[in-house]
Chains A and B, each alone.
Chain A
Amino acid sequence: MQTSRRSAVERGLLLVIAVPTLLTSQATGDRQPAAGTATVGDTTLFYKALDLEGAGKSLEAASLFRQALHTANAVSALLGLERVYAELHQTDSLLPAVDTLIRANPKEPIYREVQLRSLQTLNRDGDARDAFERWLRDAPRDPTPYREYARLLLERNQAQRADSVLARARIQLGGTGDLQLEIAQARAALGQWEESAQAWRSALAQAPYLEQAAAYALAPAPNSARDGIRSQFFAPPLIVAARRSLATLEDAWGTPANGWLALRDLPADSVSAAAWLDFAQRAEAEERWTHAREALASVLRWRQSPDVALRAAIAAINSGDPGAALGLAPLTLAGVDSARAARTLLPVHVRALAALGRPASAERLVVAYDHWLTPAARATLARSIAFGWVRIGDMSRARGALSEAGEEADSSDAAGWIALYAGDLRTARRLLRASGDASPELAVALALVARLEMDSAPDLGHAFLTLARGDTLQAATTLAESMERLPAAASLLLYTAAQWRRAARAEGPATELFKRVVEEYATSAEAPAAELEWARSLRRSGNALEAARRLEHLILTYPQSALVPQARRDLEVVRGSIP
């Protein structure tokens, strides 16, 4: 214990002695190595100091960094010294050394930056301001002092002072071309969003890598300022980084669909293609299929790629445009042999043809590629073809398509659906229950067939068939009408029909059915859900008073319902008691 204490004291004394020695020698410009001190060419000191810093021995590292200030590694050594002194909470000890270095080399900006940073860290705002002024005197035409001091002020949330520094730069330098990034940040901090966007745009023209920084800085802009930002980023000439940044911003603002507007007219090149691919990936993940298709199609216009073509075709089908899919990913795509086409492109074509109501064409395609198909692939394609036949109302061909594909296809959920369309509830019940699908459509179908005890219900089948053929409104009407012959599931039938109407944007007729569920089947399992939908519909139509009445009724009538928390939250919104 005694020994270590003595050592610490000795080390301290050595430091005290070493500092004046170092400062004196530098101040006089004497570069001759004294006994035991560094030489200019000695690079080992700096690396030894780095090692000590890496080992967490900050005090020892500080000593060597100080000695290395005499060497050719002076700049790096000073930065190292800044780090270790910060660790030791001795930033003030750095200042005399920096002063000496600046006197020896007033043109070195790193020394000045370290000095400003240290003074700011120590809250010596006045001294920092003086140091900035001295730097300006030594380098009157250099934008660096303005940039560094403005950055420090911005980091300290002193946007107004940073703005004053930048205004001074404009006058002294005759422009602020090199300071656009700092101007952009200062303007954003001051809530001057459009001016900030303008500066960001200029900064992005010089430094495209700042696009994420721009999006981050502008993301807090309020709704009212966003159109101004958009107009700045859309202004000619087109700057790709600015447009990419805007697309990211639109995502952050919760308006990702607008992102495509920022990207769609970019010139077709590798930079734009990267932006389109990024955008498409996000759109696919969020199931915004139309935008995904457009972005991927733009990539294809620049350069064909089988993978992108396949993604574009899938996006087209999912967006409800199966015809486009056939053109986006032709089976004769360059670089794709027949085996790969059968594995990747054929299923998309078969799906598209089925959706277009051309199952016969799909069947012919499958026959043409049969040589490259596995039994599992055949069964999958048969299901798609069967749905194609369903779509054009030929149920016997649909069943035939599944039977021909073998037992696997014939016992699949597709076969279950076809049984349901035919009103064969018994078969539908058995096959649909075994399905691994987790779609909402399947959940509704299962709920209905489980509620009904009979084995046959042609009306119900007809309603689902009409839905599969794309006529949602007629399907809803058929389903609602079937309730008279299927009283055991009347409330569920009405509720489902109401949901289908809402999906088809028939808000009024949907609400009528929700209302009937509540009024005519008040004790059914569907009543709370129907009442919640009814209330939401009233709120959307601006009838807050009646919406509140419905929500109150729901909460008090069905206190055990799992929907009560949602109803309470809706009630808060209707009453205006939460933001």
Chain B
Amino acid sequence: MKSVLGRLARRAQRALSRSVAAAMLVMAPLAANAQRLLVPMDDAQQNHLKAYGLTYNALKAGLKAEWLLNYRGGSFLLPDTPELRRQSGLDGITAQSIDEGQLSAIRAEIAAANMDAIPLEKAPRIAVYTPPDAPPWDDAVTLALKYAGIDYTPIYDDEVMRGDLTKYDWLHLHHEDFTGQMNKFHLGYREAPWFVDLVQKNSAAARRLGFNSIPALKKTVAEQIRQFVDRGGFLFAMCGATETLELAIAGAAVDIGGAFADGTPMDENADEKMDWKRTFAFQGAHLEQSPFVNSMSDIDGHQVNVPGRRQPLGAFTLFNFSAKFDPVAAMLVQDHRSVISDFYGVTTSFTKSMLKPSVTVLAFEEGAPWVKYVHGDYGKGTWTYYGGHDPEDPQHAIGNPPTDLSLHKDSPGYRLILNNVLFPAAKKKPLKT
């Protein structure tokens, strides 16, 4: 109770100082004759996804930007430079030049409503945890980054174990199984060439790095990722990586891998031995003991690969946060749609009853016992989980053709991914207040 009151007090103080700052911004004389480029993110925008790339690359080039939360779908304000105009023209991004008078009017509108202008300062250094030979089309985040023109560095077990995570601000995980059970694909693909190759490469990496099994290696990698967040890193995970990362962290000292993965069956009492104090988002989950059931635990609400448990897809709704009081959560849900069609993944959703009390729910399905999109702080860093594999391929199956984002350039589901990429650029301001 005490901590809740303290938090409310801090929020109120933050709101006051922010309102004063906003008023000062409106009243203060603006930089002489500086034209700005307004990149609207409502339905007037012709390429929402590329707009994130434009903003990211402006920051990377040393320019300053602002994220106008809740203003016209979460618009961006950029300096009006010839290069940015050129880039927006090339990519078909809607951007309009505005003068000081127009900017003042926008700031006044922002000050008077549930909106805020968040300065974006520095482009985060991005790493994506993915096998070295994986094409970018295998992962919705690398698809989005590639399409938006945002550079990233692929890293995998060798780099993580070498300590390379310290080189990056932002880390993405997708369908890696951190329990080391290879998503239990042995059930359907034991002899498929790609699966045999995957197992061989991971086994070789485990041996090379001094581990006796893939589960042992992956648990250690999961621990490195936990420490990365604890030290102040930004983690964004989707699909099966969300659930298995949590299981690997909680089960660091427990045998949670089936015999097919590490040669010994899962500890019969694994549920009781899990240490949920160390995890980011979940607690009290039950592990799936059967090696013949393609599920890891009951964290996932949809259980897409278990025929008798599979739940149908619905639609999820984004929470409308206060831009001035909850800028971080507000940034993560900026979108031109508030209800979005759901999409399956190895882990599609997160069972509500297993969320830790500190978790912020960003998107939920009305009436369902699960949520779709969650966020939280951990140590000095933050994490965000977004269930599902590909927002524009709701029934994605292995071997399906990759998504061509030029056909989905205004995808509201993909926007949520890119919100996460830009959010670290704005992280410092909320902390200052």
Q: Which residues of A contact B (CB under 8 A)?
A: 123, 125, 156-161, 163, 189-192, 220, 222, 552, 555-556, 559, 564-565, 568-569, 571-572, 575-579
B91 proximal to A (CB < 8 A): yes
Among A159, A190, A555, A572, contact of B147 (Cβ-Cβ < 8 Å): A572
In the complex, are the beta carbons of B308 and A190 less than 8 A apart?
A: no
Answer whether A190 and B292 are a contact pair too, CB < 8 Å, given A572-B147, A579-B402: no
Expressed in whole angstroms, the minimum distance between the Cβ of B403 and any Cβ of chain A is 8
In the complex, are the beta carbons of A577 and B189 less than 8 A apart?
A: no
B357 proximal to A (CB < 8 A): no
Interface hub of A158, A555, A556, A579 (most chain B Cβ within 10 A)? A579
Among B89, B186, B191, B404, contact of A555 (Cβ-Cβ < 8 Å): B89
In the complex, are the beta carbons of B188 and A190 less than 8 A apart?
A: yes
In the complex, are the beta carbons of A191 and B193 less than 8 A apart?
A: yes
Residues of B close to A568: CB separation below 8 A: 90-92, 406
CA A579 – CA B308 in complex, angstroms?
35
Residues of A close to B137: CB separation below 8 A: 579
Residues of B close to A220: CB separation below 8 A: 399
In the complex, are the beta carbons of B194 and A156 less than 8 A apart?
A: no
Expressed in whole angstroms, the minimum distance between the Cβ of A441 and any Cβ of chain B is 33
Chain B interface size band reads 20 to 34
Residues of B close to A161: CB separation below 8 A: 187, 292
9 closest Cβ contacts across the A-B interface? A123-B308, A191-B192, A579-B402, A579-B137, A577-B146, A578-B406, A577-B147, A578-B404, A160-B190
Among B92, B189, B403, contact of A191 (Cβ-Cβ < 8 Å): B189
B401 proximal to A (CB < 8 A): yes
Interface hub of B86, B308, B405 (most chain A Cβ within 10 A)? B308
Given A125-B292, A571-B90, A576-B146, 8 other A-B residues pairs in contact with their CB atoms under 8 A: A161-B292, A163-B191, A191-B191, A191-B399, A222-B399, A555-B89, A565-B92, A579-B401
CA A191 – CA B292 in complex, angstroms?
19
Answer whether A157 and B90 are a contact pair too, CB < 8 Å, given A125-B292, A569-B406, A578-B406: no
The digit string for B139-158, where 1 denotes a CB below 8 A from any CB of A, is 00000001101000000000
Expressed in whole angstroms, the minimum distance between the Cβ of B100 and any Cβ of chain A is 26
In the complex, are the beta carbons of A190 and B191 less than 8 A apart?
A: yes
In the complex, are the beta carbons of B406 and A158 less than 8 A apart?
A: no
B307 proximal to A (CB < 8 A): yes
In the complex, are the beta carbons of B404 and A158 less than 8 A apart?
A: no
A-B contact list, 28 entries, CB within 8 Å:
A123-B307, A156-B307, A157-B188, A157-B305, A160-B187, A160-B189, A160-B190, A160-B191, A163-B191, A189-B188, A190-B190, A191-B192, A191-B194, A191-B399, A192-B192, A220-B399, A555-B89, A555-B90, A564-B92, A565-B92, A568-B91, A568-B406, A577-B147, A577-B149, A578-B147, A578-B404, A578-B406, A579-B401
Q: How many A-B residue pairs have CB under 8 A?
A: 69
Q: Which residues of B contact A (CB under 8 A)?
A: 86, 89-92, 135, 137, 146-147, 149, 186-195, 292, 305, 307-308, 399, 401-406
Closest to B185 in A: A160
In the complex, are the beta carbons of A572 and B186 less than 8 A apart?
A: no
In the complex, are the beta carbons of B308 and A556 less than 8 A apart?
A: no
Closest to B293 in A: A125
In the complex, are the beta carbons of A556 and B89 less than 8 A apart?
A: yes
Interface hub of B189, B194, B305 (most chain A Cβ within 10 A)? B189
Among A156, A157, A160, A565, contact of B186 (Cβ-Cβ < 8 Å): A160
Residues of A close to B192: CB separation below 8 A: 190-192
Closest to B194 in A: A191
Closest to B89 in A: A556
Closest to B306 in A: A123
Among A158, A555, A576, A579, contact of B187 (Cβ-Cβ < 8 Å): A158
Residues of B close to A576: CB separation below 8 A: 146
CA A425 – CA B366 in complex, angstroms?
70
Residues of B close to A577: CB separation below 8 A: 146-147, 149
Residues of A close to B91: CB separation below 8 A: 568
CA A160 – CA B260 in complex, angstroms?
14
Residues of B close to A572: CB separation below 8 A: 147, 406
Expressed in whole angstroms, the minimum distance between the Cβ of A494 and any Cβ of chain B is 27
Closest to B47 in A: A568
In the complex, are the beta carbons of A159 and B89 less than 8 A apart?
A: no
CA A263 – CA B406 in complex, angstroms?
39
Expressed in whole angstroms, the minimum distance between the Cβ of A520 and any Cβ of chain B is 25
Among A159, A555, A569, A579, contact of B188 (Cβ-Cβ < 8 Å): A159
Among A191, A222, A578, contact of B405 (Cβ-Cβ < 8 Å): A578
Expressed in whole angstroms, the minimum distance between the Cβ of A55 and any Cβ of chain B is 29
In the complex, are the beta carbons of B89 and A559 less than 8 A apart?
A: yes
Interface hub of A191, A222, A565 (most chain B Cβ within 10 A)? A191
Expressed in whole angstroms, the minimum distance between the Cβ of B137 and any Cβ of chain A is 5
In the complex, are the beta carbons of A192 and B191 less than 8 A apart?
A: yes
Expressed in whole angstroms, the minimum distance between the Cβ of B353 and any Cβ of chain A is 22
Expressed in whole angstroms, the minimum distance between the Cβ of B256 and any Cβ of chain A is 22
In the complex, are the beta carbons of B405 and A190 less than 8 A apart?
A: no
Answer whether A556 and B401 are a contact pair too, CB < 8 Å, given A160-B186, A577-B147: no
Interface hub of B91, B194, B406 (most chain A Cβ within 10 A)? B406
CA A29 – CA B308 in complex, angstroms?
36
Closest to B137 in A: A579
Interface hub of A160, A163, A189, A577 (most chain B Cβ within 10 A)? A577
Residues of A close to B406: CB separation below 8 A: 568-569, 572, 578
Expressed in whole angstroms, the minimum distance between the Cβ of B301 and any Cβ of chain A is 18
Residues of B close to A555: CB separation below 8 A: 89-90
Expressed in whole angstroms, the minimum distance between the Cβ of B328 and any Cβ of chain A is 29
Closest to B403 in A: A579
Closest to A189 in B: B188
CA A555 – CA B46 in complex, angstroms?
15
Closest to B135 in A: A579
Expressed in whole angstroms, the minimum distance between the Cβ of B152 and any Cβ of chain A is 13
Residues of A close to B90: CB separation below 8 A: 552, 555-556, 568, 571
In the complex, are the beta carbons of A556 and B399 less than 8 A apart?
A: no
Residues of A close to B89: CB separation below 8 A: 555-556, 559
Expressed in whole angstroms, the minimum distance between the Cβ of A242 and any Cβ of chain B is 23
Closest to B186 in A: A160
CA A556 – CA B406 in complex, angstroms?
19
CA A168 – CA B308 in complex, angstroms?
26
Residues of B close to A123: CB separation below 8 A: 307-308
Residues of B close to A190: CB separation below 8 A: 188-192
CA A447 – CA B63 in complex, angstroms?
49
CA A575 – CA B186 in complex, angstroms?
36
Residues of A close to B86: CB separation below 8 A: 556
CA A564 – CA B92 in complex, angstroms?
9
Closest to A222 in B: B399
Expressed in whole angstroms, the minimum distance between the Cβ of B259 and any Cβ of chain A is 15
Residues of B close to A158: CB separation below 8 A: 187-188
Closest to A159 in B: B188
Residues of B close to A189: CB separation below 8 A: 188
CA A222 – CA B195 in complex, angstroms?
15
CA A546 – CA B181 in complex, angstroms?
47
CA A258 – CA B187 in complex, angstroms?
35
